[in-house]
Amino acid sequence: MTTVPLGIPRRLLEFTLDGEQVRAPEGSTLLDACRAAGKDVPTLCQGDTLAPKNACRVCIVEVEGARTLAPACSRRAEPGMEVRTDTERVRHSRKVVLELLASSVDLSTTPHVADWLKEYEAKPDRFGPDAARVDEEPRVDNDLYVRDYDKCILCYKCVDACGDQWQNSFAISVAGRGFDARIAVEHDAPLTDSACVYCGNCVEVCPTGALSFKSEFDMRAAGTWDASAQTETTTVCAYCGVGCNLTLHVQDNEIVKVTSPHDNPVTHGNLCIKGRFGYQHVQNRD
Ligand code: SF4
Ligand code: SF4
Ligand code: FES
């Protein structure tokens, strides 16, 4: 008889969310509970395959009796809590966080941000035209992916994916301090001189498009990138016996990028260079 491994049953905790009594499995974050209740809480640095980093603070909520606002992505639900997701204080804090980010970083390829700026009436322009934190050309130093740090919000997700949480290559880290802090490879060298193995697992988790497939970067530059015209098909990588799942993003009958389902219990969205970038032979029609 086949036995299906099930997760350990978890006790349900009861607490109040925006005035309604809700129940969430023990260990859930407030963000888990908000999503289960259909509440739209913005997130940027939260990654469903990574430990919370609490870097962006756009997900904050108000917990009755707490001195400070709490990041929903990392704060665990507790019995009897009273949580509010849409108070004046929460809205004001999210507005300022969005203004600080959008005034200093190019968020034009960050999903949902345009809607959030509108929803929270954020006005990034009030910090003036010189608020950009980084002002440099995208780094195009290899054929596989591009690093455009004008779009980097320093969420650390790429560092964690490259480091001990997944890839264990430790090719990238945070260099500099304060306003000079930035993501870099050792000695700020080109990627080709670094420990990078081109798994693209950092690209998979980057929330802003600061890291992107070279194919996507080129198509955006040419004005031909059209996500709405793309299909996504999940299949099995044929390169080896591990059998990772690949999601092929196809536009005009060409694969334009490859992602991997985050809910796969073995790979959690991670791939190696072959699965992530080795698809050209599929469409080499010459
Ligand atoms: S492609 Fe892989 S090895 Fe290279 S920096 Fe990204 S996560 Fe690290
Ligand atoms: S490059 Fe992307 S994943 Fe890495 S810190 Fe910047 S925004 Fe986050
Ligand atoms: S999403 Fe919660 S702190 Fe960034």
**pLDDT digit string (tens) for 109-141?**
999 999 999 999 999 999 887 777 778 899 999
Nearest ligand for residue 145 CA: 1
Q: What does R_g of the chain's alpha carbons equal in angstroms?
A: 21
* 3-class SS of residue 172: strand
* Atom nearest to 74 CA in ligand 3: 2
Q: What is the pLDDT of residues 238-255, one digit of tens each?
A: 999 999 999 999 999 999
pTM of the model: 0.93
Look at residue 20 in the predicted model and tell me its pLDDT: 97
* Cβ of residue 183 lying under 6 Å from some atom of ligand 2: yes
Region for residue 133 given its phi and psi (left: phi exceeds 0; alpha: psi -120 to 50; beta: otherwise): alpha
Which residue has a Cα nearest atom 8 of ligand 1?
162
Q: Are strands 245-251 and 231-236 parallel, antiparallel or unpaired?
A: antiparallel
Q: What is the pLDDT of residues 36-79, one digit of tens each?
A: 999 999 999 999 999 999 999 999 999 999 999 999 999 999 99
The confidence band for 3, taking pLDDT boundaries of 50, 70 and 90, is low
* Cβ of residue 56 lying under 6 Å from some atom of ligand 3: yes
Cα distance between residue 216 and residue 277, in whole Å: 12
Look at residue 113 in the predicted model and tell me its pLDDT: 97
* Atom nearest to 31 CA in ligand 3: 2
Cα distance between residue 104 and residue 134, in whole Å: 8
Cα distance between residue 107 and residue 154, in whole Å: 12
Give me ligand 3 centre to Cα 245, in Å. Answer: 28
Q: Phi/psi at 210 (nearest 5 deg)?
A: -60, -35
The confidence band for 10, taking pLDDT boundaries of 50, 70 and 90, is confident
Q: Tokens for 232? A: 């996504």
The DSSP string of 146-166 is: EE-GGG-----HHHHHHTTTT
Taking CB atoms within 8 Å and a gap of at least 24, the contacts of 127-131 are 127/99, 127/100, 127/103, 128/103, 131/103, 131/104
Longest dimension (CA), the chain: 67
Nearest ligand for residue 202 CA: 1
Q: What value, to the nearest 5°, has the Cα angle with vertex 71 and ends 207 and 167?
A: 40
* Atom nearest to 54 CA in ligand 3: 3
* 3-class SS of residue 61: strand
* Atom nearest to 46 CA in ligand 3: 1
* Cβ of residue 107 lying under 6 Å from some atom of ligand 2: no
Mean pLDDT of the chain: 94
Q: Is residue 6 over pLDDT 90?
A: no
Which residue has a Cα nearest atom 2 of ligand 1?
199
